[in-house]
Structure 1
Amino acid sequence: MSNPQRIIDLTINLSDDLNGVEISSVKTIEKDGWNTSYYKIYSHVGTHMDAPRHFGNADQAIDEIAVGRFITPAWIIDATDVGPKGFITLRHLGVLLSEFSPGESLIIKTGWSSRLGTPEYLDDLPRISKELAEWCVENRVNILAVEQPSVADVHNLEEVTEIHKILMDGDVIIVESLINVEQITAAKVTMIAMPLKVKDGDGAPARVVAIL
């Protein structure tokens, strides 16, 4: 029987090519009869989820977020017109301003993942505007997911702290560094974002997929 669903993987591969990842062999088939490895991973490397503990808003760690929130309907927001260091604003929501239902999620499409591996990927990223962050809180967005490695300018401590605190104080889950968003053709998908269950973690790499 054919499956009408199409599943798109929105997750960056974790490899030694990424800053914050170290993978080393422990045992090999040739020497030991099986393969095993050590993984040393930065908590916010690649596609990942932030926990409120990340910016000290609350003491909620990544393992304490209700698992039911990780499977969610998500609207695709086209913000591909936003250039380097630009702001994603309420204008990009369009008709969603009236159609969004509390508890749903947003995936922001910017095309920024095409810059993965370049200096501008981190240095010149588009940012979530304060008004959009506040709208997400007021409308009870479940997960705000973006292609860029942060929702705000990581070189501006005041801005990055403000935007994260607005969202986290408002109980909006943040997922960053998506890829393959351009493959999503539907206006709305089911998103699954499952972070590693790290005790007392401030964040963790996550496997994120979209189901059309």
Structure 2
Amino acid sequence: MKMYDLTQPLSTSTPPWPTYEPFEMKYFKRLSTERVNGQIIRTSNHVGTHLDGERHFWTAGRDIASIPLEDLVGPAAVVDVSDAVGEYGIYTPEMIEERVEVKTGDILIIHTGYHHYAYNKEEADEEAYMCKHPGPNMEFAEWCMEKEIKWVGVDCGSADHPMNTVIRKLRPDLAEECEEKLGKPLTEIFPDEGRQLMHTKLFPEGIIHVENMGGEIDELLNQRTTIGCFPWRMVDGESSISRVVAFDGME
């Protein structure tokens, strides 16, 4: 069996989601003095490749420990939309279905190409990665519900369009740039009732997502495979740093 690691490397250089605490790691024991190495980690759950759980935006939702493995592993479609959408673009269900078959109950992985801007790449551009990547609108979220998608994965900073998140307020200069690019006011493209729709609309439906994927994702574009997401078994966890793996030939 061939496995593909779809996880980004995690280090103190990995940028967290804007306004969230970064990943910190230090030694509190060393072999030189105590004959053992020991480390302490302090981090938010939203740094590097991570699973956004239901409780992240829905208080009554399942915690990370309550999500069965059967909900995290299964048949998947990996879809490359990088040729159809670029900076601030909006991807649609039609773009997905014309590139690869998506079956009811699938895991869906969206490749925008923006993982190439991640911190550990030669093309690293944190502003582009977090603030300018493509994203979906309400039509896409409704399609996910119709297809009963198990979970969605993206290779960029958020499963939502960056201008449908807090980034719109944090970076008004980029919000203006996006409006010029798309030719419409952001309030029209992303009205208040659809605020962070991939979080607020889909989590109560049991459709969660993994953000900041990468690794060997380029080797699986427009293919069907089997994928698993493996978070910490964290009681009361709203989200979790995770490892995501594709298993070739298992579907």
List alignment gaps of at least 5 residues for structure 1.
Answer: none
Give the superposition deviation at 1:26.
Answer: 1.2
Task: Spell out the pairing of 1:34-183 with structure 2 (5 A cutoff).
Answer: 34-56=36-58, 58-81=60-83, 82-95=85-98, 99-117=101-119, 118=125, 119-152=127-160, 153=162, 154=165, 155-156=167-168, 158=192, 160-179=195-214, 180-183=216-219
Shift in alpha-carbon separation, 1:189–1:160, aligned structure 2, 3 A:
farther
Query: Is contact 1:57-1:165 (8 Å) kept?
Result: no
Q: CA deviation at 1:160?
A: 4.7
Among residues 213, 216, 226, which one is paired with 1:190 in the alignment?
226
SS for the counterpart of 2:206 is: coil
**Alpha-carbon offset, residue 206 of structure 1:** 0.5
* Distance across 1 between alignment mates of 2:153 and 2:30: 38
- Cα distance in 2, alignment partners of residues 185 and 6 from structure 1: 16
| Alignment RMSD | 1.9
If the length of structure 2 is used for normalisation, what is the TM-score?
0.76
Q: In the alignment, is the contact (CA less than 8 A) between 1:55 and 1:161 conserved in 2?
A: no
Against the structure 1 CA distance between its residues 83 and 185, is the aligned structure 2 distance closer, same or farther, given a 3 Å change threshold?
Answer: closer
Q: Identify unmatched segments of 5+ residues in structure 2.
A: 16-21, 120-124, 170-191
CA distance in 2, matches of 1:196, 1:129: 30
More strand by share: 1
SS of alignment partner, residue 136 of structure 1: helix
Give 2:198's aligned amino acid.
I
Deviations 1:85-144 (A, max 9, x none): 1111112123478x5332211111111100113221111121122211111111110011
Q: How many Å apart are 1:57 and its aligned residue?
A: 5.9
Tell me, yes or no, if the aligned pair for 2:199 and 2:208 is still in contact at 8 Å: no
Verify the 8 A CA contact 1:51 1:202 in the aligned structure 2.
Answer: yes
Give the Cα–Cα distance (whole angstroms) in 1 for the partners of residues 103 and 205 of structure 2.
16
Instruction: Quote how far apart the aligned CAs of 1:170 are.
Output: 2.1
Sequence identity (%): 28
> After TM superposition, where is structure 1 displaced by more than 6 Å over at least 4 residues in a row?
none
Does the Cα contact within 8 Å between 1:48 and 1:206 map onto a contact in 2? yes
